[in-house]
Amino acid sequence: MTATNRNKATITLGVVTLGFIASHPFAHTFAGGLLASGCSAALVGGLADWFAVSALFRRPLGIPFRTELIPRNRARITEAIIAMVEDELLTRENIRATIGRYDIAALVVRYLADSGSQARISEFLARIADDAVGQANPDKIGAFLAGLVRDNAAQIKLAPILAQTVEWSVRHGYADRLATFVLGELQALIAQPQVGELLASFIAEARQAYERELTRRRFAGQFLEGIGFTPAVMAAIAQREGGLFLRALEDPAHPWRENLRRRALALAARLGGDPGLQEKVEQAKNDWLAGRTDLAERIAGGVAVILRAAAGDTGRAVLRRWLDAQVGRLVHAFQGDAGQQQALAQLLRQALMAFIDTHHAHIGTMVRERLDQYSTAALVAFIENRVGNDLQMIRINGSVVGGLAGMLIFLLTYWW
């Protein structure tokens, strides 16, 4: 507790005490009587108010009667505080009015504009994804998805889905990414020694089938082999040229890639508008499902592979980059859409209002629980720390008013 007013009150009491002692021998004179009367009244007033203030918190001079008012009335004080908070300060109407004055949309926009906030949102979503991956059961997921596919196979029209998927992939560049990935894998595959041996064997068998014991063809073959075009050499040439061709195809502007995109878009158009092709796709889908008695196991196996990849460091990094990009995109779109902002603000406001209506009574409970955490001594000390300094002004005022009253009484009696 700040001791400023307490010190002032104590000094004031000391001053009037000394004044009374000093003036009492001269009380028979006008000035001495006036001063003694004022100091004596100020001393009585200061001591009385000191007793009154101290009696709120403890037993002054050990007197138990009408003292320790706060400790004795702790239960009543607690109920009064709860009533004040719940029924006067934080009423439903006050809280509703406060929420209504806030521009929740602007608050959300300011929060989302902070890059740190976006990072925290991404981190939160990443933790949810990690928990989901860690707790996912591939067998249950496989059984659920297999049942979902079989139960809704007739309603799920595959051709329009494939049309939209193909068109979207081509328009957004994912088809090119897939083609680049496949070309890279094919280059790695064609460069393997085993592929060279397989090609050499295939060329040798093709040469034997071509010659068929015909002297002219056999002579041509022997001639080619004589100048160095053995099956192994021809296989190596095929590997080299194939690799060069695949590397050339990695260029998105390659004519073959352009032609592939055009064909893919044409296929998407046919899948979306050709009833005959749509019927063939549906029939193929139904035939495939009819022959897949192990659909749940196959889906579970695929889910397990995906979960293992997602649980690894690379999978987590990819997921986090994707989440960062998606959160950034959604935040940017939200910041530029006033309609979405107001809709979200209205939704949050309604949710807050519903929460307040449901849990308003908990305010009193929380206040009670907080107050119950204090012992009586700690609660008294807490209150005294907050208001004790102001209460010391009562002592000062008692001395001042008492002194003035004493001097006034002296004057009245003197003149009378």
Q: How confident is the model over 340-378, as pLDDT tens digits?
A: 888 888 888 888 888 877 877 777 788 788 878 878 888
Q: Tell me which of 88 and 141 has the higher pLDDT.
A: 141
Q: Residue type at 169?
A: S
Give the pLDDT mean for 310-332.
84
pLDDT at 217 over 50: no
Residue scoring higher pLDDT (217 or 178): 178
Model confidence at 64: pLDDT above 60:
yes
| The predicted structure's pLDDT at residue 159 | 85
pLDDT at 181 over 60: yes
Task: Give residue 188's pLDDT.
Answer: 85
Task: Quote the tokens at residue 189.
Answer: 């595959």
pLDDT of residue 357: 79
Residue 327 has pLDDT above 60, yes or no: yes
- How much of the chain exceeds pLDDT 90, in percent? 2
Model confidence pTM above 0.85 = no
Q: Give the pLDDT mean for 306-333.
A: 84
Q: How many CB atoms lie within 10 A of CB 6?
A: 19
CA distances from 191 to 228, 239, 362 (A): 21, 6, 72
Angle at 86 between CA 80 and CA 88, to 5 degrees: 80
Most confident of 129-133, 150-154, 380-384: 129-133
Give the CA distances from residue 284 to residues 279, 287, 364, in Å, rounded to whole numbers and listed in that order: 9, 5, 66
Number of alpha carbons in the 13 Å side-chain half-sphere of residue 125: 15
Q: Is the pLDDT of residue 221 over 50?
A: no
Q: Do 57 and 406 form a contact (C-beta atoms < 8 A)?
A: no
In this structure, how many other beta carbons lie within 10 angstroms of the beta carbon of residue 236?
14
What local confidence, expressed as pLDDT, does residue 2 receive?
44
CA nearest to 16, candidates 1, 32, 38: 38
Determine the straight-line distance between the first and last CA of the chain, rounded to whole angstroms: 47
Confidence of residue 228 (pLDDT cuts 50, 70, 90): low
The angle at the Cα of 368, spanning 367 to 372, to the nearest 5 degrees, equals 120
Residue 306: the pLDDT is 84
**27 with 50: CB under 8 angstroms?**
no
DSSP at 311: H
Average pLDDT on 24-45 reads 88
Residue type, 8: K
At position 75, the amino acid (one-letter code) is: A
Output the average pLDDT for the chain.
Answer: 81
Calculate the CA dihedral of residues 341, 345, 348, 353 and round it to 10 degrees: -170
Does residue 232 register a pLDDT over 60?
yes
Q: Which region among 92-106, 168-182, 260-274 has the lowest average model confidence (pLDDT)? A: 92-106
- The whole-angstrom separation of Cα 4 and Cα 322 is 61
Q: Which of 211, 198, 207 is nearest to 238 (CA)?
A: 198
pLDDT level of residue 46 (50, 70, 90 thresholds):
confident
Whether 215 has a pLDDT exceeding 60, the answer reads no
